[in-house]
Amino acid sequence: MATDVGAAAALAAAVRKAEERLSGRQVPLMGVMAAFVFAAQMVNFPIPGGTSGHLLGAVLLSVMLGPPVAAVVMFCVLLVQALLFQDGGITALGANFINMALVGVLAGGAVAKVNGLLRTDWMRSAAVFLSCWLSVVAGAVLYALELWLSGKAPLGPVVVTMASVHALIGLGEGALTIAAMAVLRSARLWQAEARG
């Protein structure tokens, strides 16, 4: 319940900011990126204990579209997955939004803010890669904490399992995000300027 309240407040704030900042050029890109993230998230990697891991896409969306728009797109992706495929489920939507969307969106927003300070493409790519990895691992640890707080799992084993598996998934997330950014840059769909 607490995650639902927190997620609703964060989503409301994101919608308000997205309405102020959304440009007409971003609308088609939002749709394309929502479809890409939706498809990427549907590929699940089983984790011992009955859960699974998958790519997130939140950092990519945040760097490309700005954090508020990215948060709205991520919510839409999670909602469609919950309604059509029972992936995550409606009762876990608030927690999933916090763990998978907000953590990555904030990490991507931090990268966008420092982008102008980084002097080379290599440094910018390294910052994006690191924020992808951190967001995936942080989201997994938050999930483990939520399971523990709900009394459904012991903290230690769940944190170790989720963090270790998601540390590997985070490497894939970082690599795919860098590759996607390179493709979008070459197609002139995205420029390296910071978005807020």
Q: What is the pLDDT of residue 118?
A: 84
Distance, CA of 3 to CA of 94 (rounded, Å):
5
Place of tokens 């950092």: 59
Instruction: Pick the range with the lowest mean pLDDT from 15-24, 107-116, 124-133.
Output: 107-116
Report the pLDDT value the prediction gives residue 191, as an integer from 0 to 100: 52
CA distance 59 to 84: 24
pLDDT score of 43: 82
Residue type, 5: V
Cβ atoms of 68 and 23 closer than 8 Å: no
As a whole number of angstroms, the distance between CA 101 and CA 179 comes to 20
Q: What is the mean pLDDT of the chain?
A: 87
pLDDT at residue 194, rounded to an integer: 37
Model pLDDT, residue 2:
84
Q: What is the mean pLDDT of residues 43-71?
A: 85
List, for residues 9-28, the tens digit of each pLDDT value.
999 999 999 999 888 888 88
Residue 2 DSSP label: H
What is the C-alpha separation between 189 and 30, in angstroms, rounded?
Answer: 11
Question: Distance (Å, rounded) from C-alpha 29 to C-alpha 19?
Answer: 16
Q: Write the pLDDT tens digit of every residue in 88-111.
A: 789 899 999 999 999 999 988 888
> Can you tell me the mean pLDDT for 39-57?
80
- Enumerate the H helices of 86-195 as residue ranges: 93-96, 103-114, 121-149, 155-186
Q: How far apart are CA 127 and CA 137, in angstroms?
A: 15
pLDDT for position 83 = 93
Residue 77 pLDDT class (50, 70, 90 cuts) = very high
Tokens, residue 159: 């944190």
Per the listing, tokens 């927003």 go with 109
Tokens at residue 140, please? 């997994």
Percent of the chain with pLDDT strictly greater than 70: 94
Q: Confidence band (pLDDT; 50, 70, 90) for 190? A: low
Domains of the chain: 2-186 (1.10.1760.20)
**Average pLDDT of the segment spanning 119-145:** 92
Q: 4: Cβ–Cβ under 8 A, 6 or more apart, which residues?
A: 93, 94, 95
Check: CB of residue 85 under 8 Å from CB of residue 42: yes
What are the tokens at 178?
Answer: 């860098």
CA atoms within 13 A on the CB side of 59: 33
pLDDT computed for residue 34 by the predictor: 94
Instruction: State the pLDDT at residue 193.
Output: 40
Across the range 103-132, mean pLDDT stands at 88
**pLDDT tens-place string over residues 161-171:** 989 989 999 99
